[in-house]
């Protein structure tokens, strides 16, 4: 068989994943910064098990990385005071809270700090605050990266801006009773009728055509038809509900009032990982008290980091101004709590 010498053929390759076991730096601040640097290279800290042991937790930590990046990961761990070794360690409850991550989290680079990339783990609670256009650019960058990897997220526009992907004013229905109950709970809280949440949920389910089999045959008769029905009637008259379509990335709710933007944002946050722009900070109050523990990327024009953290309980807060970009990562060690601070050059600015 003859080949044309002038044609380059790229052959597919398979890269082996390597688990790098390590013991972390003793200083919590160093560990938090190390994790942000590792996220910039697309890797995250994981653990083999987390077993209670008296006042501690017994665990082994590791990082999964492509074999050709193993040397970078090892260098980062050593740089921040960790050791490359497979060894059981005991960690406190608060250290466990910092280490533990949800399944499916992926690290994404957001900027450069000195010689290192730094990043964030998504999905999580991330608040991006400061200059509007800069924050929106970072959100679009993260949205595109996350959507390519996971394929299940949305951009919620509470304020008219440049479209992101396909824009829809149709809110998807998910035939999950728990999600519909959460929507009813948000409506009840907004109308100061939390005690009527179950009545709102029943009317909402029936109005959306979602059939629920009840053990008691007479329960349908007791469905309230007063204020609860008025609330549901408003919602169905103001918001278009449709079937779930995975190719729709962006939901435009800029035509709704502020309170109802929050309610729809809470609903979407229960069915997809949302990037929320132009919705009031009341969303953070809902999210903080929401029993399912919502994860989201949220834009705020307020740059008071202490206030943002108290309202959102975020995993990361990123503040972007024309002169500075800073990432704040909350931590708690015993009675000591604070925000690790890390300045960086935004990656989206370099890639523009």
Q: Are 231 and 135 in contact (CB under 8 A)?
A: no
274 and 152: one domain? Answer: yes
10 contact partners, CB below 8 Å, separation of at least 6? none
Looking at per-residue confidence, does 43 or 247 come out higher? 43
143 and 266: one domain? Answer: yes
| pLDDT given for residue 300 in this prediction | 96
pLDDT in tens, 57-115: 899 999 988 888 899 999 999 999 999 999 998 887 777 766 765 566 788 999 998 88
179 and 144: one domain? Answer: no
156 and 249: one domain? Answer: yes
Nearest-angstrom CA–CA distance, 145 and 265: 21
137 and 261: one domain? Answer: yes
234 and 345: one domain? Answer: no
66, β-bridge pairs: 17
Q: DSSP code of 6?
A: T
230 and 291: one domain? Answer: no
Q: How many domains does the chain have?
A: 3
pLDDT in tens, 294-351: 899 999 999 999 999 999 989 899 999 988 999 999 887 666 778 889 999 887 666 5
Distance of CA 41 to the CA centre of its chain: 18
Indicate whether 257 belongs to any domain: yes
21 and 85: one domain? Answer: yes
How many other CB atoms sit within 10 Å of the CB of residue 350? 9
| pLDDT given for residue 8 in this prediction | 46
- Mapping DSSP to helix (H, G, I), strand (E, B) and coil, where does residue 231 land? helix
Nearest-angstrom CA–CA distance, 299 and 302: 9
Domain that holds residue 95: 17-101
Indicate whether 2 belongs to any domain: no
35 and 142: one domain? Answer: no
Of the candidates 252, 261, 309, the residue with the CA atom closest to the CA atom of residue 282? 261
Asked whether the whole model's pTM tops 0.95, one would answer no
Indicate whether 109 belongs to any domain: no
| pLDDT given for residue 106 in this prediction | 83
240, β-bridge pairs: 170
pLDDT in tens, 150-166: 888 999 999 887 778 78
335 and 290: one domain? Answer: yes
Write b or e for each residue in 64-93: b if 16 or more Cβ atoms lie within 10 A of its Cβ, otherwise e. Answer: ebeeebbebbbebbeebebeeeeeebebee
162 and 275: one domain? Answer: yes
Length of the chain: 352
Nearest-angstrom CA–CA distance, 20 and 17: 10
């Amino acid at each position: 068989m003859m080949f044309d010498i002038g044609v380059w053929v790229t052959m597919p390759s398979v890269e082996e994943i390597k688990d790098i076991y390590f013991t972390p730096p003793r200083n919590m601040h160093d560990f938090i910064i190390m994790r942000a640097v590792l996220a910039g290279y697309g890797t995250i800290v994981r653990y083999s098990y987390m077993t209670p042991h008296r006042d501690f937790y017994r665990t082994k930590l590791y990082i999964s990385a492509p074999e050709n990046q193993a040397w970078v990961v090892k260098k980062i761990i050593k740089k921040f005071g960790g050791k490359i070794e497979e060894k059981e360690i005991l960690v406190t409850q608060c250290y466990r809270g910092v280490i533990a991550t949800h399944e499916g989290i992926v690290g994404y680079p957001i900027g450069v700090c000195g010689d290192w990339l730094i990043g964030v783990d998504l999905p999580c609670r991330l608040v991006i605050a400061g200059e509007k256009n800069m924050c929106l650019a970072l959100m679009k960058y993260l949205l595109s990266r996350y959507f390519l990897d996971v394929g299940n997220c949305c951009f919620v526009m509470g304020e008219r801006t440049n479209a992101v992907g396909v824009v829809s004013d149709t809110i998807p229905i998910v035939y999950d009773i728990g999600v519909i109950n959460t929507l009813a709970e948000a409506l009840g809280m907004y109308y100061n009728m939390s005690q009527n949440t179950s009545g709102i949920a029943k009317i909402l389910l029936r109005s959306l055509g979602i059939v629920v089999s009840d053990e008691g045959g007479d329960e349908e008769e007791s469905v309230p038809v007063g204020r609860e029905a008025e609330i549901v009637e408003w919602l169905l008259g103001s918001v278009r509900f449709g079937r779930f379509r995975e190719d729709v990335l962006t939901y435009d709710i800029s035509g709704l009032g502020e309170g109802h933007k929050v309610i729809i944002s809470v609903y979407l946050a229960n069915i997809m990982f949302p990037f929320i722009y132009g919705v009031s900070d009341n969303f953070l109050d809902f999210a903080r008290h929401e029993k399912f523990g919502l994860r989201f990327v949220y834009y705020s024009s307020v740059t008071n980091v202490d206030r943002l953290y108290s309202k959102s309980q975020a995993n990361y807060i990123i503040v972007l101004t024309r002169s500075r970009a800073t990432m704040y990562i909350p931590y708690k060690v015993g009675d000591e709590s604070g925000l690790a601070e890390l300045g960086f050059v935004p990656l989206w600015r370099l890639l523009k």
